Amino acid sequence: MKGYGKIGALMGNFPESAIVKRFSDLHVQNILYLQAEIAGLELDFRRCEVENENSGDGEKQQFSLDWYTLSTTKDEREETEQWQLALLIRKKLKEYDTAVLRYSELLLLKAPKKRELSYLQD
């Protein structure tokens, strides 16, 4: 056996010898992109809240006070923009939280010891 198969078998049989790249820069860049995306969604959501509060439409004015009204009111048979944004933000926050937590777990992985590195290089 050669190459990846040989290294995979070795690391599989001796987990303490497993060495994986963290791709820290890419993880952090992804987290930063998610932050920027969520920040943009937050601006849209806040703008939409203000528009609905100032709309003169009694039902829309209730959105910031009544979750049920917000979640069930339809505009031309579609969910309102504010509710659509709330759902999208919820989804993006979940994605963001997962990315941050997974990255923090990666940071807890121990760095390989010199002995393990030299053994793999041989």
What digits encode the pLDDT tens for the residues 52-85?
Answer: 999 999 999 999 999 999 999 998 777 899 999 9
Is the per-residue pLDDT at 44 higher than 90? Answer: yes
* Exposure on the CB side of residue 55, measured as CA atoms within 13 A: 16
**pLDDT of res. 119:** 67
SS3 for 119? helix
pTM for the full predicted model? 0.81
SS3 for 74? strand
How large a percentage of the chain has pLDDT more than 70? 95
Name the pLDDT band for 24 (thresholds 50, 70, 90). very high
> How does DSSP classify residue 122?
-
46: closest CA among 63, 32, 30? 63
**pLDDT of res. 122:** 62
Q: Give CA–CA dist 120/17, Å, rounded.
A: 8
H/E element, 95: helix 81-107
